[in-house]
Each structure stands twice: as structure tokens, then as C-alpha cells.
A = this chain, B = another copy of it.
Amino acid sequence: MRYSISHKQQTRERLLQSSAALAKTQGFASVGVDGLMKAIGLSGGAFYSHFSSKDELFGSIIERELSQSLERLGAGDAQSRERLDRCLKFYLSMAHVEHAATGCALPSMGAEIARSDVVVREHAQTWICQLHANWARTLESDSLAWAILSQCVGALVVARMLVDPQVQAQVLSSSYQELSRQIADH
């Protein structure tokens, strides 16, 4: 063969990474196969050597994104409240609002995941429940863990819709402030 064994894996990884970033910023439905491939310097036709369809790529992107987020937000069996606090601080930051390409996939692609087929949503559910379980163990509260997760995702969705950075920052700081109080009061 004219291409090394690892070449395909590397190309596939580049494609996944680049496509995920494009999907999070422009929406997966709004970017075509040609655009996805051009972004990594390849032609559209080469796409089908890596994925049988655009939908299959979507599933792989979600899988990769969620496992990555889980690692960053709640990996391990026992995390300290200090680490959870650092996670919340970053999640609810202006940097996260402004850089959707490298951020969590839930606020940017949540609606698209909700509209996708059952297989993808089952994967998403597994991951979300795993993150919830980790946070619930740290916080010793199932309901507080769900509430935090919802509020984090919602704050980013709301903030990204706004134009004024000051109001955006207000949404973030308010959410963080109220979350901190809830965690402390618990």
C-alpha cells in the first residue's frame, strides 16, 4: 500500500478534531462534507475512506466529544470539591462562551443531539449519567448534581445568544454565584 498503516488513523483523528470544532461553531447540519475535508486540506471524495456517511461521522464526533468532556469535568472515582469548583469556574467563563470550537459540545450541539437518532442519544445518555454520578458522589446529592449540570449548559446557551459582553458576564457570574451558594448550603 502507498500509505502507512498509521496514516489513516492520523487522518481520521485530524478529521474528527477539525469537524467537531466546525460543528460546534457553525452547526453540524450547516457544514458540508466538502467543507469538512477542505478544512484538513483534503478533497471531499476522500471522506468516504474514513466514514461511510456523514451521519456516522456525527456519531463519532459526539462519542469523542463527550468522553473528552467527561475526562475534563468529572473523571476518576473521587474528586475533591476544590476540583469541581475549578471545573465550574472554567465552564462558566467568558473564554468558554467565546471559544465554542474548543468548548463543551452540550451547549453548542445539544439541540442537534436531541434531534438525532436513538443510538446517538443512548450514547449521550450514558455519558451524561456518568458525569452526573461522579458529581453526585462528590456533592452527596443526586438532585444538586442534575441541577448544576443543567445550569452550566443553560448558562452557556443563554450567554452565547446575547450580544453585550457585560450581560454575558452577568449571566455567568450569577450562575456561578448561585451554584456556589447551593453547594455551600448543602
- Cβ–Cβ < 8 Å partners of A173 in chain B: 143
- Contact partner of A151 (CB less than 8 A), chosen from B106, B128, B145, B151, is B151
- Contact partner of A143 (CB less than 8 A), chosen from B129, B164, B167, B174, is B174
- Cβ–Cβ < 8 Å partners of A27 in chain B: 27, 29, 111-112, 115
B111:A109 contact, CB within 8 angstroms:
yes
Q: A141-161 vs B: 1/0 string, CB under 8 Å?
A: 011111101111111011011
A124 proximal to B (CB < 8 A): yes
Residue in chain B with minimal CB distance to A125: B162
Q: A106-143 vs B: 1/0 string, CB under 8 Å?
A: 11111111110010011011001100000000000011
Other contacts beyond A30-B115, A108-B114, A185-B185: 19, CB < 8 A: A27-B27, A106-B157, A106-B161, A108-B111, A110-B161, A111-B160, A113-B161, A114-B157, A121-B161, A143-B177, A147-B175, A147-B177, A150-B154, A150-B157, A150-B158, A150-B175, A152-B154, A157-B157, A181-B182
Q: Can you give 12 contacting A-B residue pairs, CB < 8 Å?
A: A27-B29, A27-B112, A111-B160, A121-B163, A125-B164, A128-B158, A142-B174, A145-B174, A147-B174, A151-B175, A154-B157, A185-B185
